[in-house]
Amino acid sequence: MSSEFRYLPSVDRVLSDGRIKQLEETYPFTLLVNLVRQCLEGARLSIAAGNPCPSLNEIVDSVSAQICALENPSLRPVINATGVLLHTNMGRAPLSKESIVAMNAVAKDYCNLEYDLNRGTRGSRHIHIEPVLCQLTGAEAALVVNNNASAVLLGLTALAKRREVIVSRGQAVEIGGGFRIPDIMRQSGAKLIEVGTTNCTYTADYEQAISPRTAVLMHVHSSNFRLMGFTHEVTLEELVVLSKRNNLLAFDDLGSGCFLDTTTFKLEPEPMVQQSIATGTGLVFFSGDKLVGGPQAGIIVGEKQLVDKLKKHPLARAARIDKIRLAGLIATLIHYLKDEAVIKIPIWRMISTPLEEIDQRARLWAQALSGLAQVTEGETMIGGGSLPGSTLPTRLVTISGESERKDRNMAQTLSRRLQCQEIPVIGRISGNVLLLDPRSVLPEEDEAVLHALWNLAAGWKRS
Ligand SMILES: *Cc1c(COP(=O)(O)O)cnc(C)c1O
Ligand 1 centroid – CA 394 distance (Å)? 27
Q: Whose CA is nearest to atom 5 of ligand 1?
A: 148
pTM over 0.85: yes
Q: Phi and psi dihedrals of 143, rounded to 5?
A: -150, 140
* 327/370 same-domain check: no
Ligand 1 centroid – CA 173 distance (Å)? 11
* 317/296 same-domain check: yes
Q: What total number of domains does the chain contain?
A: 3
* 212/308 same-domain check: yes
Last residue of a domain, one of 291, 323, 344: 344
* 332/412 same-domain check: no
Query: Helix crossing, 97-108 with 323-337: angle to 10°?
Result: 150
Could you say which residues of the chain have pLDDT below 50? none
User: Which of 287, 300, 386 should be mutated for ligand 1, with most atoms under 8 A from CB?
Assistant: 287
Last residue of a domain, one of 71, 104, 132: 71
Task: Tell me how far CA of residue 231 lies from CA of 13, 192, 226, in angstroms.
Answer: 73, 22, 10
Q: Is 221 in the pocket of ligand 1 (CB under 6 A)?
A: yes
* 372/418 same-domain check: yes
* 101/172 same-domain check: yes
Nearest to 423 by CA among 404, 409, 442: 442
* 34/166 same-domain check: no
Q: Tell me if 50 sits within 8 A of 316, measured CB to CB.
A: no
Whichever domain contains 225, its CATH number is: 3.40.640.10
Model pLDDT, residue 461 = 79
- The pLDDT tens digits of the residues spanning 179-234 come to 888 999 999 999 999 999 988 999 999 999 999 999 999 999 987 777 788 889 99
Q: Is 223 in the pocket of ligand 1 (CB under 6 A)?
A: yes
* 338/373 same-domain check: no
Model pLDDT, residue 417 = 94
* 309/250 same-domain check: yes
Cα atoms found within 13 Å of the Cα of residue 151, Cβ hemisphere only: 28
DSSP track, 220-242: E--TT----SS-B---HHHHHHH
Model pLDDT, residue 1 = 54
Ligand 1 centroid – CA 363 distance (Å)? 36
Last residue of a domain, one of 344, 364, 393: 344
- Which residues form the domain of 439? 79-86+350-462
* 313/402 same-domain check: no
Q: Whose CA is nearest to atom 6 of ligand 1?
A: 148
* 184/295 same-domain check: yes
Model pLDDT, residue 223 = 75
Q: Is 220 in the pocket of ligand 1 (CB under 6 A)?
A: yes
Ligand 1 centroid – CA 255 distance (Å)? 4
* 244/114 same-domain check: yes
